[in-house]
Structure 1
Amino acid sequence: MKRKGLIILLWVSLATSLFFFLFFTDEKSFRSFMMTLLISTMYSFLLGFGNGAINEFLNKKFPWLEATRTRTILSVISIILGNFILVYFCNYMNFVVIQKVATTEDFFSKKYGTTNWFMINIALLISAFLHAKGFMDELRKTSKKEVVEQKLIAKSANAQFESLKNQLDPHFLFNSLNVLSSLIDENPHQAQKFTASMSKIYRYVLEQKDKDLVTVEDEIDFAKVYCELLKTRFEDSVDFIFDVRNESVKKFVVPLSLQLLLENCIKHNFATSSRPLQIKIFSENDTLCIENNLQVREQIKESAGIGLANIVQRYSLLTKRNVFIEKSEDFFKVRLPILNTKPNTINVKSIDQDKVYERAQKRVKEIKSFYANLISYCVVIPFLIIINLIVSSKNIWFYFPMLGWGIGVIAHGLSVFAIGKNWEDRKIREILEKQNQEKL
């Protein structure tokens, strides 16, 4: 149990002992108060730790929002059995061991039956309230998680937009058109090949713009076409080496990452026939590496690093694995993680946002209504029990409202959490996941 829970139990023990000492204890002495405090502490900590252990166990095995119906049934069964055992144990320690006002035979006779039943009901009311509070805490955490997921979705969309702006680099297009213009007069056949390569490149860009991941094989094939175009443009000034293992080609990388990195190599390094720029693309330990010899070009304007930052951002939205950058005096190297499977993403754009908000608002009202009912039950029933025992302890009538209202509270809870319409939300998510997987 956390420190906050221990402090709460201490305060409950102190408040309970003061209440019983002031209103139900005839002997007002320090010894009597300490005895009352000891008994209250025993009840508070045993019942608190017992119910806390049950709740933590059920949270691990049957989380509220993943198995709501199963958790509700198990919570009802566990708190009834658990509190029955704990209350009988605490009452036995109180009346037989500590105060010694009853023998073991007396304790298990009808004489203490009403007392035990009264204490069990109080414990059940408190436990039901704590379990309901646990559900609300879990619901609040999940709501925060969903908000974070929506922010990530928005961030992903923005990253994809930025990616497109970087992929369709106007400088690359301008330089390519200049090369094409000169080739048309000098070498028409080579100009046709150059145009075909440009067509393949931009067709690939348009095909992959909506995808989160593509196979290494597709990305390498695209990179080879792109390198042919660069080779036509720079001739012997640039050399390309591909060395990717066969076991890596069916795995996945972020689309168009090679194009951005190859463009960076050309942009930031000078290349001449006497000192060619050597670019190597190879696989190494579940990473796709792009390495070039460092021949830094003097630049009037410092690079903003948008292309590389874009790749890092897109990877961060898909995996916890990082993009690694190595730089020395002789080479510059970027390691892209190769992913074994595609992430399971959900396309939420197809959901009508107004309907989602309306359904969520209705759901919140139902939950608030149930907890208002539960809190009223937890406040009113103990008050009726105390009045009944003080006014006419021989004529026990509090069972009728306690049982009748209790059944109503349980039915209300089942209708909200167990047999409600939450299956619709799960079904919508399943359909969206299936459609998204088919699209990928």
Structure 2
Amino acid sequence: MDTKDLKNKLSTMLWVSFATGIFFFAFFTDNKSVSNLIISFLVSFMYSFVFIIGNYYTNCYLNSKYSWIDDTKTRIVLGILSTIFVNVVLVFVCNYLNLIVIQKNNPAKFFTGEMGLFNWIIVNIALLFSAIFHAKGFMEEWKKSSKKEVVEQKLIAKSANAQFETLKNQLDPHFLFNSLNVLSSLIDENPDQAQVFTASMSKIYRYILEQKDKELVSVEEELDFAKTYTALLKTRFEDSVTFEFNVNENDQKNFVVPLSLQLLLENCIKHNFATSSKPLHIKISSEDGFLMIENNLQFRENIKESSGIGLSNIVQRYALLTKRNVFIEKSEDYFKVKIPILIEKTSTKMNTTKYSENSAYERAAKRVNELKGFYGNLISYCLVIPFLIFVNLYTAPQYQWFWWPMLGWGIGLASHGIAVFGISKDWEERQIQKILERENHK
């Protein structure tokens, strides 16, 4: 028992002793003297001390052996039995000291007559207070358990969200640097195709900035983006790489993690060689609730060590969203990855729509994400465009193609800025409110 707990118990004993001492002195003591008042108080303190300490240690012992939460039934049964036994023994001990030792009554009549009735009354009073004492302990343990569970769930949710954000934030530099490597190779091989690649790259990167903050996107959206991405790959590899899309229309309405196809297609290109005589065949299809990406295995030798971002990123993001697994199949002839198609659009975030305070937090978080998206877009523009200008002026200064991506991406960046800082949701809400007010005044 710690110091604070001891003080609380002592304070309770004193108040109970004072109240019961005054009660018995006023109604059950014939000689109203100071000495009898002191005796009444001391006897009441004896009862309070014995019952409170006895029940406290009984409760502590049971709590150390059986949990109110994990062993509820056992704890209740043993609590009832031990409470009856302990309190009956304590009542008989205190009553014997009070009635026989202090008041000098006949021990032979301890269980009969008025003393027997007094024993029965005190036993019931002791059991009543003991039941209240144990119920209080049960409620305290339950509250502690509930608070602990809430805190644990919040920590789990925060940890999952933080982990998910970390995984998603890997995608920006990963795609950007890989795309720049492709562009660099393409400039040497075919400058004309480099122009087409650069113009389309700005549109694709804008899509990535928009989708990376989502936990799930529809299969249809992901397929549309994958088709655009494969068109860019075709500009570089021409007939060395073929793509086949065969996804069920019903599956296209369901969901996958964003940019999963792009990462898997990128892995196919990265880890396999492709030539006109030995083309790389990549097939995207759906079967039994999975989206499958399969390619014939033409493993590229002397490949640089993988960063591990692509496939592991997809596996970890799915692990945070669902219990369904990502499957990887490999044989001598082919390599296949199967990612789950999710029917419901689940979320790792906590549901806070019931509370206005949490709704305000969500709006603030959404606003921060919008600002992060815009500044990420702006920083990428400031990094990529100067690089493209340098590449263009260094390789083909007679034809300044860098204007096209600079203007195209610039227009997209400007519209993004207007959406974030200009015509926002607040402006829409104000306009809706004005229209409603005008309608109400008509």
1:221–1:327: structure 2 CA closer, same or farther, 3 Å change rule? same
Which stretch shifts more, 211-220 or 144-153?
Answer: 144-153
**1:281-292 matched pairs, under 5 angstroms:** 281-292=284-295
Asked whether 1:333 is paired with 2:336, we answer yes
Secondary structure of 2:346's partner?
coil
Secondary structure of 2:299's partner?
coil
Give the Å deviation of 1:128: 2.8
Pick aligned residue for 1:183 from 179, 190, 198 = 190
Write out per-residue CA displacement over residues 393-425 of structure 1, whole angstroms, 9 at most, x where no aligned residue. xxxxxxxxxxxxxxxxxxxxxxxxxxxxxx999
* Partner Cα separation in structure 2 for residue 297 and residue 162 of structure 1: 25
Give the Å deviation of 1:199: 2.6
Is the Cα contact below 8 Å between 1:254 and 1:315 reproduced in 2?
yes
Give the Å deviation of 1:274: 1.4
Give the Å deviation of 1:111: 11
* Partner Cα separation in structure 2 for residue 12 and residue 112 of structure 1: 18
Is the Cα contact below 8 Å between 2:91 and 2:123 reproduced in 1?
no
Is the Cα contact below 8 Å between 2:268 and 2:295 reproduced in 1?
yes
* Partner Cα separation in structure 2 for residue 346 and residue 210 of structure 1: 13
* Partner Cα separation in structure 2 for residue 232 and residue 216 of structure 1: 24
**1:30-45 matched pairs, under 5 angstroms:** none
1:15–1:221: structure 2 CA closer, same or farther, 3 Å change rule? closer
1:121–1:14: structure 2 CA closer, same or farther, 3 Å change rule? closer
1:323–1:434: structure 2 CA closer, same or farther, 3 Å change rule? farther
Asked whether 1:125 is paired with 2:137, we answer no
Structure 2: segments with no counterpart, 5+ residues: 1-61, 97-110, 371-442
* Partner Cα separation in structure 1 for residue 354 and residue 75 of structure 2: 39
1:192–1:302: structure 2 CA closer, same or farther, 3 Å change rule? closer
* Partner Cα separation in structure 1 for residue 278 and residue 168 of structure 2: 36
Is the Cα contact below 8 Å between 1:236 and 1:276 reproduced in 2?
yes
* Partner Cα separation in structure 2 for residue 433 and residue 265 of structure 1: 38
1:101–1:271: structure 2 CA closer, same or farther, 3 Å change rule? farther
Is the Cα contact below 8 Å between 2:91 and 2:119 reproduced in 1?
no
Look at both structures and tell me which one has the larger radius of gyration over its CA atoms.
Answer: 2
* Partner Cα separation in structure 2 for residue 424 and residue 220 of structure 1: 32
1:326–1:213: structure 2 CA closer, same or farther, 3 Å change rule? same
* Partner Cα separation in structure 2 for residue 222 and residue 182 of structure 1: 25
Pick aligned residue for 2:253 from 250, 261, 266 = 250
Pick aligned residue for 1:24 from 92, 99, 105 = 92
Is the Cα contact below 8 Å between 1:243 and 1:283 reproduced in 2?
yes
1:219–1:22: structure 2 CA closer, same or farther, 3 Å change rule? closer
Give the Å deviation of 1:113: 7.0
1:320–1:436: structure 2 CA closer, same or farther, 3 Å change rule? farther
1:432–1:284: structure 2 CA closer, same or farther, 3 Å change rule? farther
Asked whether 1:205 is paired with 2:213, we answer no
1:436–1:346: structure 2 CA closer, same or farther, 3 Å change rule? farther
Pick aligned residue for 1:321 from 324, 334, 337 = 324
TM-score normalised according to structure 2 size: 0.55
* Partner Cα separation in structure 1 for residue 79 and residue 132 of structure 2: 20
In structure 2, the partner of 1:31 is: none
1:437–1:253: structure 2 CA closer, same or farther, 3 Å change rule? farther
* Partner Cα separation in structure 2 for residue 111 and residue 305 of structure 1: 78
In structure 1, the partner of 2:180 is: 173
Which stretch shifts more, 141-150 or 15-24?
Answer: 15-24
Write out per-residue CA displacement over residues 306-365 of structure 1, whole angstroms, 9 at most, x where no aligned residue. 2111111111222222211111111111111112232245499xxxxxxxxxxxxxxxxx
Identity, in percent, stands at 46
1:424–1:347: structure 2 CA closer, same or farther, 3 Å change rule? closer
Write out per-residue CA displacement over residues 258-315 of structure 1, whole angstroms, 9 at most, x where no aligned residue. 1111111011111111111100001111211100011111125443432111111111
In structure 2, the partner of 1:152 is: 160
Secondary structure of 2:250's partner?
helix
1:199–1:163: structure 2 CA closer, same or farther, 3 Å change rule? closer
Secondary structure of 1:249's partner?
helix
Give the Å deviation of 1:24: 1.8
TM-score normalised according to structure 1 size: 0.55
Which amino acid in the other structure matches residue 428 of structure 1?
E
Is the Cα contact below 8 Å between 1:167 and 1:256 reproduced in 2?
no
Count, aligned residues: 284
Q: Flag the structure with more relative contact order, 1 or 2, with Cα contacts below 8 A and sequence separation at least 6.
A: 1
**1:36-435 matched pairs, under 5 angstroms:** 116=124, 119-168=127-176, 170-180=177-187, 182-184=189-191, 188=192, 190=193, 192-346=195-349, 426-432=355-361
Structure 1: segments with no counterpart, 5+ residues: 29-99, 103-108, 349-422
Secondary structure of 2:356's partner?
helix
Write out per-residue CA displacement over residues 15-45 of structure 1, whole angstroms, 9 at most, x where no aligned residue. 974675477269x9xxxxxxxxxxxxxxxxx
